[in-house]
Amino acid sequence: AKSEEQLACEKEWLQAGHMWLAHRGGFTAVMREGEADPGRAKVRVLQTGEILTVDEDDLEKANPPQLERCEDIASLRCLNECGALNVLRSRYAAGLPHARAGHALLVLGPPKRTAPIYTEKVAAMFRGCRADDMPPHVFAAAQSTHRCMLASRRDRAIVFLGRSGSGKTSAMRHCVWYLASAYPAQGSKLTPERLDAAFDVLHLFGSTRTGSNPHASRFVSLTSLDFDGGGALAAASVQILLPDLKPGQAPLRALHTLYHGCDGRLRRELLFDQAPITTPNPFMSSTEKADAPTEFAALKEALQLLAVTENEQMAIWKIMAAICHLGWAGAVKANTGSGIKYQFASTGCGQRAARLLGVGTEELARAVFVTVPTSPQTNSNLRTPSPSNEREMSGTEAVDAFVTGLYNETFNIIAALVNRSLSTSARTAASILLLDTPGADNPMCAGQQSGAPLSKLLSNYLQERLQAMFHEALLVAPRERYSQEGITLDDGTEEDWLSETVNPGPMVELLDKAPQNTIVRSSQADLRECDRRGLLWLLDEESMYPGSSDDTFLERVMAHYGAPNHTHYLIKKAPHARQFVLQHLQ
C-alpha cells in the first residue's frame, strides 16, 4: 500500500503535465506548456528547455519517477510504449536485466553464465519461494514452474522466444542449472555439471556463425526434466528436432574447433598434417584460431564427463575429419570413356577422407556423385522447359549434400550419446519441458542482400507459431474470460490492442493456411476465385507441377496475398529479382 505522501507526490507529478515525446530516434522527456492548433501541442524539452510544437499523437503520458524501475510493466500507472521502454532501459542500466510483463518474463540481452546474478548464492535465495516473494529473474521463472508442477501434479512448460542472438539458449540453460542444483535427487547422476556438459556438447556441434549471432543454434531442442513425487530431479532427456546443419552454407563451430584445436598424435591420426594448408576450405572458418585449443580441450572434458568412451570419441573425430578433407577435395568434371562425370578435384584429399571413413576411394566417389547425372536426360522432352528443371546438380552441390547428410547423422549420434548419459530408471511423477528454438532472423539486418533460404523461413514460421500461442494464451483468452465474468476493460476505444497489426494470426495463416477445396492449379484468373492457401502449400504444389519455376511461384503468391488483397501489408515484392519480403512482427 502507498502512503499519503507517495500518493500526493504522484498526483502532483501527473498534474504537472510530464510527457514522453516519441520521435524517430527514440523518446524524450518533455512537459506540456499549452495548446496550439487543433491536434497540436506546445511542449518544453526538459533537458534543453527548448519549446516545440508537436502532434498530439506523438505524446504519451509519463509515469512518476518511483515507477522507473518497477518489476512488472503491467503495474505502470500510465501503460504505453514509451513508459515500458523507459522501465526496461532504466532497469538494464542499473544492472537489472529482468522484468515482468504480466505472466511473461523479459530478459534484456544475452545472460552471461559468469554474471554475478547467476551464482549458487543467488540461486539459494529463490529455492522454495512463492512467486509473489521473488523479484523477476530466470531462477524465479524456474522456481514458479516447479512449484506449479508440484501443486497440480501436471506437466509444465517454459517456452523461450526472441530474435537470434537474444539469449534464449543461455536463459534455458540457466533454468536447467537452477532446477538441477536446487532439487537434486539423492545419489542421482544428474548433477548440474553433467547437464552443463551435455548442453556444451550439443551446442558446440549444433551451432554456427551468422551475421547476427556468432553462436546461433541451428536446431530445436525440447528438454524434459522429470521429477519424482517429492519434487527431486530423477531423469532428463533432450529431444532434437528440425536440425538445420549445412556446412556448405555457414561454417560450423565443431569443424573449426576440431581442426584448429587438436594437436600432436590426434592430428596425425586424423591426417591433418597432410592437409593442404593454403587451399581454402568452404566448411571451416579461418578466423578466431586462438580460442580453438581451449574449446577443444573443454569439449573432450565434457565428453568424458558424459561417459563417452575413447573409441566413441575417435569415431566422431574421424567422421568430422573426413568432412574437412572432403571440403579440400572439391569436385571437377572429368572426361572419361563413358562420358562426362564428376570426380574429386584433389585425389589425395579424397583418399584421406575415404581412409578415415573406412571405405575405398572409388566407393566414396560413387556415394558422393551418384545423384549427379552423367548424361542428358532422355525424357526431358516430356517436361515443359523451365529454369527450375533445366539446371542439373553440380559436383560441388553433390559434395555439399553428402557432407550435410553425414554431419546430420553425426549430430544424431551425439544426441543419442547425450541421452544415454542422462537416462535413468527412476520413477517420475511430472515433468518440466523447456523449448528452445532458433530465433527469428532477418538477413537484411546483417547486410545480406541475397535473401533468406528456406531453412530461415521455417525458423521464422516456427517463431510466428509460438508467438500466436503466446498471443492467444496471455492476451485473447484472459479478455474473453473477463467478458464472461462481466468485467469491463478500459483498453481504449481508438485502437484495439488485439487488432491484426499486433496479432501474428494473419502471418501464420499466410504461411500455412490449408486449402479448402481440391481445385486443380490452372489459370491465374481461376486462382483468384478459389480459396486461398498458405505460402508453404503453394510452394509444395509448384515443386510438383511440370513447368513451374521461381517466377511462377512468386506470381501465384502475389496473386493470393499481394495487393489489392487485404493481406497486402504482410507481403511485398523485394527490389531484387525473384525475392519477396514478409512483414514479420518481430
- Short-list 417, 429, 434, 437, CA closest to 174: 434
Question: How much is the pLDDT for 503?
Answer: 83
Q: Are 258 and 317 in contact (CB under 8 A)?
A: yes
CA distance 258 to 267: 9
32 annotated binding-site participant? no
Q: How far apart are the first and last CA of the chain?
A: 37
Write out pLDDT tens, residues 535-585: 888 888 888 888 888 888 888 888 888 777 777 788 888 888 888 888 887
Write out pLDDT tens, residues 508-522: 888 888 876 655 554
Question: How much is the pLDDT for 528?
Answer: 47
Question: How much is the pLDDT for 326?
Answer: 94
Say what angle helices 310-329 and 347-357 make with each other, to 10 degrees: 160
Q: Label the pairing between strands 156-159 and 430-436.
A: parallel
279 annotated binding-site participant? no
Q: Give helix then strand counts, H and E, for the chain.
A: 20, 17
Question: How much is the pLDDT for 446?
Answer: 63
Question: How much is the pLDDT for 549?
Answer: 86
Residue 434 neighbours by CB under 8 Å, 6+ apart: 157, 158, 160, 172, 175, 176, 222, 223, 225
Choice among 260-264, 451-455, 488-492, 536-540 with the minimum mean pLDDT: 488-492
Query: What integer is the mean pLDDT of 175-191?
Result: 93
Q: Are 350 and 331 in contact (CB under 8 A)?
A: no
As a 3-state breakdown, the chain gives helix, strand, coil percent values, each rounded to 5, of 45, 15, 40
Question: How much is the pLDDT for 419?
Answer: 96
**Confidence class of residue 225 from pLDDT cuts 50, 70 and 90?**
very high
Q: Label the pairing between strands 26-35 and 18-23.
A: antiparallel
169 annotated binding-site participant? yes
Residue 315 amino acid letter? A
H or E element at residue 361: helix 361-369
Question: How much is the pLDDT for 376?
Answer: 46
Q: Can you give the pTM of this predicted structure? A: 0.87
Residue 401 neighbours by CB under 8 Å, 6+ apart: 371, 393
25 annotated binding-site participant? no
CA distance 89 to 29: 14
Percentage above 70 pLDDT, the chain: 89
Write out pLDDT tens, residues 368-400: 987 555 444 444 444 344 444 445 678 888 899
Q: Is 195 left (phi over 0), alpha (psi -120 to 50) or beta?
A: alpha
Query: What integer is the mean pLDDT of 19-30?
Result: 91
State the cell numbers at 579. Answer: 525475392
Residue 236 neighbours by CB under 8 Å, 6+ apart: 190, 195, 223, 224, 225, 226, 422
| Domains, the chain, with CATH or none | 4-84 (2.30.30.360), 455-582 (1.20.58.530)
163 annotated binding-site participant? yes
Choice among 22-36, 338-352, 482-496, 522-536 with the minimum mean pLDDT: 522-536
Q: Are 161 and 470 in contact (CB under 8 A)?
A: yes
- Short-list 97, 79, 76, CA closest to 88: 97
User: Omega of the bond prior to 443 within 30 degrees of 0, cis?
Assistant: no
Does residue 444 carry a pLDDT above 80?
no
CA distance 554 to 39: 43
- Short-list 136, 130, 59, CA closest to 96: 136
Q: Is 323 exposed, middle or buried (0-12, 13-18, 19+ CB in 10 A)?
A: buried
CA distance 144 to 150: 10
Secondary structure E strands in 385-515:
430-436
CA distance 445 to 82: 24
166 annotated binding-site participant? yes
Write out pLDDT tens, residues 467-501: 999 988 888 888 888 889 988 876 554 455 566 56
Q: Are 234 and 215 in contact (CB under 8 A)?
A: no
Write out pLDDT tens, residues 68-105: 899 999 888 888 899 999 999 999 999 899 999 988 99
**Confidence class of residue 191 from pLDDT cuts 50, 70 and 90?**
very high
